[in-house]
Structure 1
Amino acid sequence: MTYRQTTLLAAAGSAALLLGALGFQYIGGLAPCHLCMEQRYPHVVAVVLGLIAALTGWRWIAPLGALAALTTAGIGIYHTLVERHIVAGPTTCTSGDISTMSSDSLFDQIMTAPLVQCDQVAWSMWGISMASWNALFSLLLVAIWIAAWRRRA
């Protein structure tokens, strides 16, 4: 495969992951949590970078595409750790420790809490959550971006 074909493959991979997430949201009715949304932005960047790289042949774009894919993989790994309650998630989208809260504070937190919690798995296949699948496929995309970078324009 040429550099342009490989960058298009990487961009198509990010586009497929984005379309999958949007399908789960708009067709499947699974509202995304805060961390789910954060995983989408680097894919948008990777798609744009892939199109630019394919059109121009600029090799220096491939490492940026790899960085975008690595960023979303990192967020996906963090989200997986939050879902498995290994690390604490952002206070904006996880329940956290409520043992020291007053009833008024707890009520206020409940009333302002987002509908979708980051520490709850909304969907999984074979015991692997959507965040984990995103991380795995994004790491594959990092490898494709690196392969593109190593190819001649």
Structure 2
Amino acid sequence: MMQLIRAVLDRWAFFALGSAALMLAIAHAFETFGGYAPCTLCLRAREVYWVAGTVALACILAVKLPKILRWRWLFYAALALVFAVGVAVAVYHSGAEWKWWPGPSTCASTGGGVSTKAMSDLLGGAKIQPPACDEAAWRLLGLSMAGWNALISLKLTFYSAWAALRERPRS
């Protein structure tokens, strides 16, 4: 088991890039095939994964240069920070869904998916309410998409920090 973890941490930038891409693909699939329109906080969560993917890709490309290889730990630390922001966004979103605190003012409590009627209303000049951030559209084992995102982001934060600590130069 430790060998597998060591192998993953040795190539953490690739796994972080793959994880970010997979999370974006899953979100897109829920939207495209499931009909779940993203709320404001869902879009914020996606931004985190776009940033994480960019940092991971920059790491993959930069460490090809010999002088940059010793700074790889900084890329991993940056990934840990980005994923930690993802945890914060997801926990905030989950808390709003559970009514522990109010969601952002940009989220309406009367939102829903985008239907054909909603699209024709929008094209006709009507104002459409965005999906609500404080209502979970889907749950699995009691957790909404935001809840699962919090757990996954926490795992990615942990592994990014672990990879950074392993790579950090010892003096």
Query: How would you bin the TM-score normalised by the shorter chain?
Result: 0.7 to 0.9
**Match of 2:60?**
54
Residue pairs, 1:3-152, within 5 angstroms:
5-57=11-63, 58-95=72-109, 112=127, 114-152=129-167
Q: Is the 8 A contact 2:9 2:159 kept in 1?
A: no
- Cα distance per residue 1:82-133 (max 9 Å; x no partner): 001110111221449xxxxxxxxxxxxxx75623111111111111000010
Structure 1 stretches of 4+ with a deviation exceeding 4 A read none
Q: RCO greater where, 1 or 2, for CA within 8 Å and sep 6 or more?
A: 1
The one-letter amino acid paired with 1:55 is L
- Percentage identity across paired residues of the two chains: 32
Supply the distance in 1 between the matched residues of 2:9 and 2:62 (Cα, whole angstroms): 11
TM-score computed with the length of structure 2 as normaliser: 0.74
Inter-CA distance 85–112: structure 2 relative to 1 (3 Å threshold)? farther
Aligned residues: 139
TM-score computed with the length of structure 1 as normaliser: 0.82
5+ long unaligned stretches in structure 1: 97-110
Q: Secondary structure at the match of 2:105?
A: coil
